[in-house]
Structure 1
Amino acid sequence: MSIAAIDFGRLYRDHLAAANRNPKPAGTWDARAGDMNRKTLKSRYVDEFIGRMDLAGARTLLDVGCGTGTICLPLAERLERVIGLDFSRGMLDALLDNAAALGRNNVEALHLAWEDDWAAVPACDIVVASRSTTVADLEAALHKLNDKAKRRVYLTHLVGGRFVDAAVIEAVGRDLPALPDYIYAVNILHRMGIHPRLDYIEAEGRLSGAAGFDEFAARVGWALGELSAAERERLHAWYLRQPAPIPGVPMRWAFISWDKRPG
């Protein structure tokens, strides 16, 4: 069998189903918008993502899974029009509040999910999807990003398929297969006739900097789902054996980009 005969879109969907994860509903992200707003508007990850972008000739940007504006807001002063798209109304409210606080009147919000009809979404010079592409159908998502881009696309996708250190998952006692990682995106794009550039961004792990066990356990619960009493007890026993502060394992993101070909 040649690589051209492999349906990587289907393999991704099969892998995601085997990982047995339930995606968080929009309401969960609504409730978390305030906390994320305080933490994510400035970070090394943001600097590295934006530092890899080419804005030459660009006037408009679409940020898919924009959250509170982590990527699109720092770029708003350099562009004429910025559109943030997210399925969480709470995130979009925070985006618009942040834009108003910065005096950016060129920022718009679209309340849509990856699975929705994007017919009314404007095509933009640049399309970005930062840490938002672990979706039900990656192939469909990549087509949508490419279709809405006039010049360039930039996205990041998880490396290794885990949002939490494997040692923590083992300590809790869960059997969680890894999620499909970035290599599916690269191979799907290849089947689409796109030859993307590939780089990596290393960012602070989600468990880094927790102030005590309660906060640490809450972060683990957010990533893995609510912990049972027995799981929390096992996690606490593991936590007490670790050096203080807990050395958080960095997360790696694949930075994938391509230029939109004419026609």
Structure 2
Amino acid sequence: MSIAAIDFGRLYRDHHAAANRNPKPASVWDVRAAEMSDKVHKSRYVEDFIGRMDLTGAHSLLDVGCGPGTICLPLAGRLQRVIGLDFSPRMLDALRENAAALGHDNVEALQLAWEDDWSAVPACDIVVASRSTTVADMEAALHKLNDKARRRVYLTHLVGGRFIDPAVIDIIGRDLPPLPDYVYIVNILYGMGIHPRLDYIEHEGRLAGATSFDEFARRVSWALGELSDDERARLRTWHGRVAPSLGAAGSPMRWAFISWEKTSR
């Protein structure tokens, strides 16, 4: 069998289904909007993401899964039009508020999900999807990103398929298969006739910086879902043992930075 005969889109869908994750609804992200908005202006990840972008010839940008404007707002002063797309209304409220605070009057907000009809979404010179590609159908998502881009697409996808250190998952005794890795994206794009560039962004994990066990457990719950009493007890015992040595931060997170030129098709 040649690689051209492999349906990586179907393999991704099957893998995602087997990982058995319940997608977080917009209401959950609404609750986190204020917290994420506080961090929108201070992030090494954002610097690393934007530092890898080429804005040559670009006047407009579409940010898919924009949140409070983490990627698009630092670029708004260099572009004529910026569109933030998200399915969380509170995230879009935060986007508007942050844009106003920065004096940007060229920022628009669209409330849509990956699965919605994007026919009314304007095409832009650059399309980005930063840490927002945990979708059930990656092939459909990549076609949407590519179709809306005039020049370039930039996205990041989790390396390894886990949002927190696997050691924490083992400690609490969860049987949690990893989500599909970034390699599916590279192969799906290859099947679309696109030859992407690949780089990596690494930064501290989601558990780093927790100042108490309760905060640590809250972050674990956000990533894994509600903890049972037994799981919380296991986690507390482990945290008490490793926190003094700062081991509770967990391993760093790695994101695959994948980009392509629209002219590469």
TM-score, structure 1 length as denominator?
0.98
Q: Cα deviation per residue 1:71-100 (whole Å; 9 max; x = unaligned)?
A: 000000000000000000010000000000
* Partner Cα separation in structure 2 for residue 97 and residue 206 of structure 1: 25
Which residue is equivalent to 1:98? 98
Query: Which amino acid letter does the alignment assign opposite residue 79 of structure 2?
Result: L
Shift of 1:20: 0.7
8 Å CA contact retained: 1:209, 1:248: no
* Partner Cα separation in structure 1 for residue 251 and residue 77 of structure 2: 34
Shift of 1:262: 7.8
Which residue is equivalent to 1:46? 46
* Partner Cα separation in structure 1 for residue 211 and residue 40 of structure 2: 18
Structure 2 spans left out of the alignment, 5+ residues: none
Structure 1 spans left out of the alignment, 5+ residues: none
8 Å CA contact retained: 2:205, 2:249: no
8 Å CA contact retained: 2:40, 2:70: yes
Runs of 4+ in 1 over 4 A off after TM superposition: none
* Partner Cα separation in structure 1 for residue 250 and residue 99 of structure 2: 32
* Partner Cα separation in structure 1 for residue 41 and residue 63 of structure 2: 14
* Partner Cα separation in structure 1 for residue 41 and residue 83 of structure 2: 17
Which residue is equivalent to 1:78? 78
In the TM superposition, what are the counterparts of 1:168-179 in structure 2 within 5 Å?
A: 168-179=168-179
Query: Which amino acid letter does the alignment assign opposite residue 28 of structure 1?
Result: V
Shift of 1:32: 0.8
* Partner Cα separation in structure 2 for residue 202 and residue 262 of structure 1: 27
Shift of 1:122: 0.2
Q: Cα deviation per residue 1:146-184 (whole Å; 9 max; x = unaligned)?
A: 000000000000000000100000111100001001000
Which residue is equivalent to 2:147? 147
Identity of aligned residues (%): 76
SS at match of 2:128: strand
SS at match of 1:84: strand
Shift of 1:39: 2.3
Aligned residues: 263
Shift of 1:247: 3.1
* Partner Cα separation in structure 1 for residue 37 and residue 80 of structure 2: 24
Shift of 1:240: 1.1
Cα RMSD over matched residues?
Answer: 1.0
TM-score, structure 2 length as denominator?
0.97
